[in-house]
Structure 1
Amino acid sequence: MAASDGGAIVVSLPIADRMRAMVFYREVFGLAALGEPAEDGVPEPLQFEIGERTRLMLIPTGGFGWVLGEGREVAPPRSHEVLLSFAVGTPKAVDEVIERARQAGGKIVAAPEQQPWGYAGVCADLDGHLWQVTVVEADGV
């Protein structure tokens, strides 16, 4: 189903630890996991609503390989094919999100600073997925 047909877009990322990942995304980005907790206290599947029709799904690495299909492997650590962006309203908010990421155990990849395109910083979550935190411009970019 095409997104224009009302379907959801789900961005899926492989993770090592469901509980740690859930806490990280709650503490850093203020996201609440969707669904009822499973036996480990984490909803299954572990998903967050990040927009009206967009969800972030975090899948344990073994399960991620299973979803990809037989003979497919998850990319090796430190191999990134995507940069996720998280837009906020002010440079101070960028600084705060990046600091929360550091406090939650994430790695600061690029400290927040003014770039030619705007104010931004980059952090990595607990599994090394890169997030650029940037100020959203008045025109939504």
Structure 2
Amino acid sequence: MFSSPCNPSGSVLTREELQQLADVVARHPDLIVVSDEIYEHIVFDGEHVSFASLPGMAERTVTVNGLSKAFALTGWRVGYIGAPEWIAKACTRLQGQFTSGTNSIAQRVTLACMQADPALLASMREDFQRRRELVLKALEQVPGWH
């Protein structure tokens, strides 16, 4: 189980690092990877690479994602997985016992987000980038920061 991009560090595993993990997974046929990719649209340095996109990893990966980070919907609690069918079916059976259904308003908001112009995400990321740069500049002024 890992998260890339990662909060709170902001680290992003490179394609090469992910491939090294995939090489280990390939040597262990019973190993399933859970990849938390909820910050995939908020990357400032590097690029997001989905673990499941690597050769042979789609059938070995449960990708966890949602709308709360990319669309600033924290608290709406709308998430999803991408997984091999047998895992997705098992998750569906469990989910019905652990959580209630998503309310109709959250479902409509989710639909709007999924149909939104990708430029919206780019605009939000640019806003986050400006805030990040402001904080980094302020931190550089703190004695002993480095």
TM tier relative to shorter chain: under 0.3
Task: Report the structure, 1 or 2, having the larger helix content.
Answer: 2
With normalisation by structure 2, the TM-score equals: 0.25
Bigger proportion of residues as strand: 1
Query: Which structure exhibits the higher relative contact order, with contacts defined as CA atoms closer than 8 Å and separated by 6 or more residues?
Result: 1
| TM-score, normalised via structure 1 length | 0.25
Structure having the higher Rg: 2
